Amino acid sequence: MAKKKSDNGATATAVAENQKADASRGDVEFRRELLRSMLLQRRFEERCAEAYALGKIGGFCHLYVGQEAVSTGTLSVLRPDDYVITTYRDHGQALARGMSPRSVMAELFGRKDGVSGGKGGSMHLFDKETNFLGGHGIVGGHVPIATGVGFAIKYRGGDQVCICFMGESVVNTGAFHEALNMAGLWKLPVVYIIENNRYGMGTALERASAIHDIYERGAAYNMPRAQCDGQDVFEVRRAVSEAVERARTEKVPTLLEIRTYRFMGHSMSDAVSGTYRSKAELEEHLKRDPIILLRSSMQEAGEIDDAWMAKLDEDIKKEVQDAWDFADQSPEPPLEALWQDVLVDTTSDDVEASKAAASA
Ligand SMILES: Cc1ncc(C[n+]2csc(CCOP(=O)(O)OP(=O)(O)O)c2C)c(N)n1
């Protein structure tokens, strides 16, 4: 009897696991959308590198090439009214969240039609429409903001979730520990996602952290935690879905470590590879390009063919060229814009009036 019960249990678990796996894969149309989303990020950033070399993009510029399954997988799980907050490596996530390539490129070019009015640049993409709360330049500085967003959601009785992306170096900053402690203590609906691409600028994780399975840091804050492969978009979806569901329904935060790799240098100041990692290591990781992995699995399943892929690529390249042309034609912000959006008097009874006065 006991054996039968355990057999049934095992079968039920296997069925449930399969159902979960299927849900993360979606149908063919959905998988094509995932591929489209990742390829758009890749082609967009290839043009960013070109624009940077031509001097059309100034300041800091950190590319996301190689990490696209993390943004696409994660954001494909969210609802439009959920919140997203991230670091300076934000172009891919902005596009995956649905911001237009035109408005992102215009921001990178420092133009008026950019998402942040051309005053934020590469590291400070922000979009109220999609609840995309930045783009932040200070390592770890945005993690307490995510905790605050989680608090606000719970305080207002909502069922949204806040996703907080960060690099692995963030786990050694004080702000990370303060913010995760509060989220664990107060049970806030935040999913903290560490995109572990193995290097903080030129410093390998093993040279900077006392533990190497960094999702374990969640134990200190009584937080559910997990690790997954960030090159497989379905694995990302599976892990994030579970965490988002828990945040939405139980108001429990999660710390997820998603293991990935950046194919380019830290930023455009070391655009190629750097001396801190070997060519052989880079080549090994290039074999697990998330776009190639998804494309190959879909081709093997007969869901797409070379002609379909070529058409997709052609369409995306046109879309990115259109974004470039749009950005190039957009004017620079007027000089008066320097004084706008600097301070808002939130203590006033009439916040809207004070905002209008500030920008008058
Ligand atoms: C408080 C602070 N210290 C240092 C820097 C300089 N800095 C910019 S990026 C970076 C490395 C961050 O690495 P990681 O968090 O792993 O993210 P990745 O760049 O790999 O995405 C450092 C040290 C900074 N921006 N803020």
Q: Is 184 in the pocket of ligand 1 (CB under 6 A)?
A: no
- pLDDT at position 292 is 98
CATH topology of domain 35-329: Rossmann fold (3.40.50)
> For residues 303 and 232, what is the distance between their CA atoms, to the nearest angstrom?
17
Beta strands in 30-96 (DSSP E): 83-85
Contact 290, 38 (CB under 8 A): yes
CA 91 to ligand 1 centroid distance, Å:
16
50, 51, 57, 58 alpha-carbon torsion, rounded to 10°: 50
Q: Is 138 in the pocket of ligand 1 (CB under 6 A)?
A: yes
Of 274, 327, 301, 359, nearest to 102 by C-alpha is 327
The sign of the dihedral angle between the CA atoms of 32, 33, 38, 43 is: positive
The helix/strand/coil state of 323 is: helix
Q: From atom 14 of ligand 1, which residue's Cα is the shortest distance away?
A: 167
Q: From atom 6 of ligand 1, which residue's Cα is the shortest distance away?
A: 139
Q: Kindly list the domain boundaries of the chain, sorted by start residue.
A: 35-329, 332-360
> Considering the chain, what is the average pLDDT of its residues?
92
- pLDDT at position 341 is 86
- pLDDT at position 17 is 62
Q: Which amino acid is at 64?
A: Y
Q: Is 139 in the pocket of ligand 1 (CB under 6 A)?
A: yes
359: Cβ contacts below 8 Å, ≥ 6 apart: 340, 341
Q: What is the pTM of this model?
A: 0.92
Q: What is the separation of C-alpha 283 from the centre of its chain, rounded to a whole number of angstroms?
A: 24
Q: Is 274 in the pocket of ligand 1 (CB under 6 A)?
A: no
Burial pattern 169-205, b for ≥16 Cβ within 10 A else e, equals bbbbbebbbebbebbbeebbbbbbbbbbbbbbeeeeb
CA 126 to ligand 1 centroid distance, Å:
19
Q: What is the pLDDT of residues 17-45, one digit of tens each?
A: 655 667 889 999 999 999 999 999 999 99
Contact 130, 99 (CB under 8 A): yes
Q: What is the pLDDT of residues 173-190, one digit of tens each?
A: 999 999 999 999 999 999
> Span 331-346, mean pLDDT?
88
More confident residue, 358 or 283: 283
More confident residue, 95 or 355: 95
Element (H, E) at 257: strand 254-259
Q: Is 137 in the pocket of ligand 1 (CB under 6 A)?
A: yes
- pLDDT at position 343 is 83
Q: From atom 8 of ligand 1, which residue's Cα is the shortest distance away?
A: 139
pLDDT over threshold 60, residue 8: no
Q: Is 102 in the pocket of ligand 1 (CB under 6 A)?
A: no
CA 87 to ligand 1 centroid distance, Å:
9
Q: Is 197 in the pocket of ligand 1 (CB under 6 A)?
A: yes
